[in-house]
Chain A
């Protein structure tokens, strides 16, 4: 398949891996965080770590939208469908994320909640148009990649005068999460692989605050060769001791990002004073709410949704997994009580979650557990 198979060429990958090995200095270690869950999955799916020298360590970051959404926000979504009788539209990833009391949107749907999986915000708008006598709420989640479609839906809803449509806005910002992870200082990191699709919207300039403080950042695409190329560029930056922001995804993203998308976001949304993240705590200026001009479409105002902090399930290490402090298999629940079919924490659910990636693609590499005898 053109434009993707070229970037999955195994022999070329081995050549880049050889170049990485050749350039890694024996006296150095290279710990790089891949911020984005999409990258985590590419790494696991193609077993990229097995191709790299032992001195390179890859650490998963918080860039998985459903992983960083706290339980309280899931509960609010369930409350909307169950107690307010709305049609709740959501991306498929959200359906199985556990809320409190062993509920999830999928289970709330089974219990009678009108919860519909959509592939795009336009589907949610159409559902609102087709059901004028019902309240339709779009459960908006995600980083800057999914924010512009929400912004466009809001603009269209306003232009069409749709009065039964609103947005439960949970959009979050990549630089804020990156800052929270790096500021902790608990992680010995030598570089960050930035998410290419986020930069397709915001550009690469927002990462300069990190390179100015000595952290190399390379923004990468999502195919295995993209990642290997980014790792090679990071190794060179570390060796040359010239931290900067580089774009390894030039085929897809201009350095300034997408100005039209930025304008749509600026028109429809504004910064929240603070927002609770799973694992990262409550961070200032890290998420978006609807702008005052769009307040009429704000589901939190329309349905008077108070935010409540709900603790993570006991023993669940998602909070540490999203911060890169623990590897998924170091969680006591991993693969035992927590699997994609029966997730306890959000990282096991999402197609971008670190635990799901390890479970789906990599568990043949884990040491074997004693086999349970079954009757």
Chain B
């Protein structure tokens, strides 16, 4: 059986209808249908020895270094978008959260909340995309869970992933270490993910070539740390974009930030779409970008290293941290003026991650 390499013909005499079938309540009911879904879809796609243990948990070998753990829920709509889907996003997003400590991501868990009626073909596409993203990133999905809720109680598919990584050195990368004068580096163009999503939003579809930047960043981070171990802080500017992340870090570090509008890399198409929609690209989500803080005399060398790496080609220094009792994030505009960059009020945006 090439279509179902993991199929146990005695247990599951009929194959799942992956072409036209839909998720129904039996797929989460703990019975044979759920077992078949797990066996033929999830276990087949994520195949690895820890998942194959077949228990409610995975037992892994000892890990050297400190453990790093992070969790994230993914509710993006639509579930397929230019440059990715909810599956690849659920892998990249959690890997990146673990990696922002400087750790190497090792394992993921994946919990699926499925809405009754979801096409099995769509679920298969998502699961295979997750498996592919995990494989390319070198992490294993070792345990998981599936729940099905009645139609109308969810929106197709929600995924929660938890990641574990190992931090093998004495690195201390945290917002509290940002110092006045630290350079602020961004790894590439801002706003791609949010605009790609908006372009596919119901009632708002517009033509654009922009794709989501969804990508795993631990490889880039590994190279950055090798080149410059004294990186003070790393953060991925996801929801709320650069504006929210800089404001969070200003609060955490008890400092202000100032950035140059002209230095922030933004694609023309993203700039144009934001202009049209009346939104600020600084507040638009990214899923494959990071912000780094390091001593200013080391920033240019670090940017040069980043530019040689995948996902770092458009890295740039965009500003610096500075003392400020009000902890404001300021922007020097191309126009020559200065303004405050505020947290975005996000209710106008669709679910983006």
Contact = CB atoms under 8 A, between A and B. Distances in A.
Interface stretch (A76-84, A188-196, A360-368): A360-368
Interface string A226-247: 0000000000000000000000
A25 interface: no
Interface string A94-127: 0110000000001000000000011110010010
Given A1-B271, A92-B348, A47 B203 contact: no
A91 B275 CA distance: 18
7 closest Cβ pairs, A-B complex: A47-B337, A10-B336, A361-B339, A10-B335, A92-B348, A123-B203, A360-B342
12 contacts: A10-B337, A45-B337, A46-B335, A46-B337, A47-B339, A50-B337, A92-B347, A117-B347, A123-B203, A360-B339, A360-B340, A362-B340
Contacts of A14: 336
Contacts of B326: 364, 368, 371
Contacts of A9: 335
Interface size range on A against B: 35 or more
Contacts of B338: 47, 364
B49 interface: no
B328 A10 contact: no
B336 A13 contact: yes
B335 A44 contact: no
Nearest to B203: A123
Contacts of A118: 203
Given A1-B272, A47-B337, A224-B335, A340 B345 contact: yes
B340 A364 contact: yes
Interface of B: 203-204, 268, 271-272, 275, 278, 325-326, 328, 330, 333-340, 342-343, 345, 347-348
Nearest to B268: A1
Contacts of B345: 96, 340-341
Contacts of A48: 337
Given A340-B342, A362-B340, A364-B330, A8 B203 contact: no
Nearest to B278: A351
Interface string A337-352: 0001100000000010
Contact of A10 (B268, B278, B334, B339): B334
B347 A45 contact: no
B339 A362 contact: yes
A124 B333 CA distance: 37
Contact of A368 (B275, B325, B339, B347): B325
B347 A46 contact: no
Interface in A1-44: 1, 4, 8-11, 13-14, 44
A46 B309 CA distance: 36
Contacts of B343: 341
Contacts of B272: 1
Contacts of B328: 363-364
A95 B347 contact: yes
Contacts of A117: 347-348
Interface in A154-173: none
A1 B273 CA distance: 11
Nearest to A50: B337
Given A1-B271, A44-B339, A364-B326, 5 more contacts: A46-B333, A126-B203, A224-B335, A360-B340, A371-B325
Contacts of B333: 10, 45-46
A363 B340 contact: yes
Contacts of B330: 364
B337 A106 contact: no
A2 B348 CA distance: 27
Nearest to B342: A360
A362 B340 CA distance: 7
Given A4-B275, A360-B342, A368-B326, A13 B335 contact: yes
A373 to B, nearest CB: 12
Given A340-B345, A363-B340, A119 B335 contact: no
Contacts of B348: 92, 95, 117
Nearest to A48: B337
Most buried by B among A48, A92, A96: A92
Contacts of A361: 339-340
Contacts of B335: 8-10, 13, 46, 224
Nearest to A124: B203
A82 B343 CA distance: 30
A188 B60 CA distance: 77
Most buried by B among A1, A46, A48, A95: A46
Contacts of B340: 360-364
Most buried by A among B203, B271, B343: B203
Nearest to A13: B335
A182 to B, nearest CB: 29
Most buried by B among A360, A362, A364: A364
